Amino acid sequence: MGTPVVDVRGLQRIYPLAEEPVIALGGVDLRIDPGEFVAVMGPSGSGKSTFMHIVGFLDRPTAGRYFFNGSDVTELDEDALADIRSRELGFVFQAYNLLPRTSAIENVALPMLYAGVPERERRAAALAALEEVGLGRYAHHHPNQLSGGQQQRVAIARSLVNNPKLILADEPTGALDVRSTGDVMALFERLNHERGITIMIVTHEPEVAAHAKRVVTFRDGHVVDDRAAAPREAVLS
Amino acid sequence: MNITTTMRTAIKALLTNRSRSLLTMLGVVIGVAAVIVTVAIGVGARASISAQIDALGSNLIVVLPGSLNQGGVRTGSGAASTLTPADGMAIAGLPHVAAVTPTVTVRAQVVANGQNWQTSIVGVAPTYPYIRSWALASGTFFTDADVASAAKVCVLGQTVIANLFANGTNPIGQSVLIRNVPFVVIGTLAAKGQSGVGQDQDDTIVIPYTSALERLTGQTTLSSMSVSADQADNVATVQTETTALLEARHHIPTGMPDDFSIRNLQDIASAAASTATIMQLLLAGVAAVSLVVGGIGIMNIMLVSVTERTREIGLRVAVGARRAAILWQFLIEAIVLSTVGGLIGVAFGAGGALGVSLGAHWPVSIPFTAVALSVAFSAFVGVFFGYYPAAKASKLDPIVALRFE
């Protein structure tokens, strides 16, 4: 499979609270290879969100090592991590997090701003990404003129626009109805299948996880289950 | 991410919240406009004060007779009869003295053209127009020959002409009776307006001082003398030398009070200038306070803005913004707000100053340094008061910021 996109070894994250330190991650070893579509599941407080934040360089491990795309990024400084985020990562959030009063195309182009891409290329790439998610004709709409499902697809376009190695999605369907959930998950599947983009999605809904090829379950800061996804019919029945 | 992109991002964010941006600027706009208007009026006022003083003759010193002490009763300055035309001749011989005129002042009822008028008769030397920077409107001024012969010639001020020759008769060549002595009008003075203390300077008739002494007062002493130094720098020297000369001529022993006094118009000028300076310092203080208040307004709104845009900041960090990029974005927003506020303030201030000059007929002038300084200061206000909110924004934890409701 080549170099793993994410390779964490003995990953720990301990919050030093006053009374008693909280152990969010108690030593996680996990490897995600290029082209995988991984769902991370687990109840609240299981450590799955902390894991995603560390994988996305928004948080740092207390102990353990993190190799991203083959290189050790554990000790990199904030600016270097910001640069990796702008070039190699895409984020999708539960609440979409689009900039208000800003057109879809400008929202999609935002990551390229920080990657130093010239304006002309930014617009072309943003429009291509919007077309990829089927929203090319909404390029100049503002978020408040779009439905929840459309907003989330704009957010997915934003996560793709830099051709990232990895897209991280944190409860991407948490705010959507059943139909929009289906659309968004179908989009993720297509991106994974057709473009070979590695995707890691954090969710607590088994129906959502069923779209992934691999399901990793967290409990109390440890990986307790890691298997290929059950065929979807089995979950639904 | 380079500085132009950051600047465009900041400007875009400001345009997205147009009305709030305008309201935020308002403090700086008003502050700078106030500075520009007050400076414009202050500079104009100072210029007109110095123009008035120049009109008096800025290199001028005035020698007045001293007070009398008769049996312990001391009269006021100018009451004694100690100055003579000979003193004037002696002063004219001093170095750095450009011109001297003896002055004899008399109030008298005058009659001409069937009208009468009481006015001030001033007996002077032909140097008078030069010393007072006073041009003729028509005719000629009298000459040294007229002085030598105590000629019965006179030059009229515009107020006198208006009162005696209201019917439009050309006064030149007409006869004016001053205390029943007929004087021929040989010239008229240009209008000079009010003096610095509100006196009508045009209400006067000028005649040779010898004529005033011999034909009107019957005395040999002068009311005063005006001495003009060749340069402003030499006024003090001329004053010292005139004092020494007159002390010698009047046989006043060292340490005894002089029987004359000398007034220097530069003292008045510098007093007026220092008043204007104090006024300007006061205005600068008011301006500084109003700009600081405007800056606090900017800081307030920027802090609100940082809180309101917490999720935006979290998102920008998540998609790869460095801390410095966030800091610069918010700092530039503050600087743009305060600088644009300053520029709008300059425009309003210039408009206000123009309004004052048109409405109140005050001279105004807007010095470029005032404009440059107030715009620079408002930019500085943006940096100073924008830094704290910007630093706060750049230090947000992206995980917390992304979840902020």
Please report residues of B whose CB lies closer than 8 A to that of A116: 1-2
Q: Which residues of A touch B315 (CB under 8 A)?
A: 93, 97, 99, 110
Other residues' Cβ atoms within 10 Å of the Cβ of residue B346: 22
State whether residue A221 sits within 8 Å of chain B by CB. Answer: no
Please state, as a whole number, how many other Cβ atoms lie within 10 Å of the Cβ of residue B69: 12
Q: In chain B, which residues have their Cβ closer than 8 Å to the Cβ of A114?
A: 1, 316, 319-322, 325
Hey, which bits of A17-165 come out as E strands? 22-32, 37-41, 63-68, 71-72, 89-92
Chain A residue whose CA is closest to B396:
A58
What letter would DSSP give residue B258?
P
Over range B9-21, report the average pLDDT. 86
**Which positions 300-359 of B are in contact with A (Cβ < 8 Å)?**
311-312, 314-325
Question: Residue A152: exposed, middle, or buried by beta-carbon count in 10 A (0-12, 13-18, 19+)?
Answer: buried
Q: List CB contacts (< 8 A) between A79 and chain B.
A: 322-324
Confidence of residue A232 (pLDDT cuts 50, 70, 90): low
CATH number of A35-48+77-236: 3.40.50.300
Write the pLDDT tens digit of every residue in B142-176: 999 999 999 999 999 999 999 999 888 899 999 99
Q: How far apart are CA A68 and CA A71, in angstroms?
A: 5
Which DSSP symbol is given to B223? S
Q: Are B270 and B116 in contact (CB under 8 A)?
A: no
Q: Is B153 on the interface with A (CB under 8 A)?
A: no
- Residue A194: phi, psi to the nearest 5? -80, -40
In degrees, rounded to 5, the angle at the alpha carbon of residue A118 between the alpha carbons of residues A115 and A124 is 100
Query: What is the C-alpha to C-alpha distance for residues B273 and B396, in angstroms, rounded to an integer?
Result: 54
Give the separation between CA A126 and CA B38, rounded to whole angstroms.
52
Q: Is the pLDDT of residue A20 over 50?
A: yes
Q: Is pLDDT at B64 greater than 90 in this prediction?
A: no
* Best CA proximity match to A34, nearest among A201, A174, A166: A166
Pairing of strands A166-170, A198-202: parallel
B72 lies within 8 A of chain A by CB: no
Across chain B, mean pLDDT equals 86
H/E stretch holding B361 reads: none
The pLDDT value recorded for residue A235 is 47
Instruction: Fill in the amino acid letter for B185.
Output: V
Q: Which residues of A touch B311 (CB under 8 A)?
A: 95, 97
Q: Which of B9, B16, B398 sits opposite A101 (nearest CB)?
A: B16
The alpha carbon of residue B295 is apart from the nearest alpha carbon of chain A, in Å, by 27
Q: Do A82 and B322 count as a contact with CB atoms less than 8 A apart?
A: yes
Choosing among B315, B326, B328, B400, which should be mutated to test the A contact, i.e. which has the most A CBs within 10 A? B315
**pLDDT given for residue B56 in this prediction:** 67
| pLDDT of the residue at B187 | 93
Phi–psi pair at A49, nearest 5 degrees? -70, -40
Question: How many Å apart are CA A82 and CA A135, to the nearest integer?
Answer: 28
Comparing CB atoms, the residue among B2, B319, B398 nearest residue A110 is: B319
